[in-house]
Amino acid sequence: MSWSRHGRDGDEGRGKGRRSYHHGNLREALIEAALDLIAAKGPAGFTVAEAARSAGVSPAAPYRHFRDRDALMADVARQGFERFEAFLKTAWADGRPDSFTALGNVGRAYLAFARTEPAYYSAMFEAGVPLDEHPELREAGDRSFAIVRKACEQLSETLPKDERPPALMMALHIWSLSHGIASLFARGDAGLRKLPMSPEDLLEAAVLIYLQGLGLGRP
């Protein structure tokens, strides 16, 4: 299985330097401040007032855009999912060169995102923002998952119709495998655990075993 790397240089080490606040760009300044604080303290380790102070604005300024801390975190997480979707979409490449290889590329992109965007990753999956109160965040997450589901649908269609596993079940399993390995072994922050092999190799092996169990293999 060819699992090419997909990542973005220049974002590692977030928190070493934040863009200064410019009048008229308060929302983005607060998001950048929140990302720096997430990198330093985790998604639950700071207040709106700390984000305001880090952005260089008054404690009341954030409330022009965010009604509370959850709203700020929801916007950070939504932005993270939009970047994540772009990572996965590029990796999937409309199923090229074939759906088996492209699915592997999606898995590597998942790990690459966790490694290069740890603050966004924490906001997306660890902030505990209530999705029912932030439908735009739920929709952003659903769009990312839809890429994994599309990959599984296309791969499932390589089997005879009466032997195809449910694509939703496959997508949930692949997502769970990718997320577990990313969270444990591919983070770009202090939450990283050591592994006697690369996270990419571990995920590739797990997905190969899973797909073989479903009767799916390299074309």
Higher pLDDT, 52 or 194: 52
Stretch among 8-17, 94-103, 138-147, 175-184 having the lowest mean pLDDT: 8-17
* Rounded-to-integer distance, Cα 49 and Cα 104, Å: 42
- Cα dist from 154 to 96, 139, 170, 202, whole Å: 11, 22, 11, 23
Is the pLDDT assigned to residue 24 strictly greater than 90?
Answer: no
Interval 2-6 mean pLDDT: 38
Is the pLDDT assigned to residue 7 strictly greater than 90?
Answer: no
Q: Quote the tokens at residue 55.
A: 């952005």
93 and 185 in contact (C-beta within 8 Å)? no
Interval 43-53 mean pLDDT: 93
95: left (phi over 0), alpha (psi -120 to 50) or beta: left
Q: Mind listing the domains of the chain with CATH numbers?
A: 26-64 (1.10.10), 74-213 (1.10.357.10)
- pLDDT confidence tier of residue 76, bands split at 50, 70 and 90: very high
- Cα dist from 172 to 97, 152, 177, 199, 218, whole Å: 23, 10, 9, 19, 21
Q: State the angle between helix axes of 118-126 and 69-92 in degrees (0 to 180), rounded to the nearest 10.
A: 110
| pLDDT of amino acid 151 | 97
Q: Considering the entire predicted model, what is its pTM?
A: 0.85
Summarised one tens digit per residue, pLDDT across range 172-186 is 999 999 999 999 999
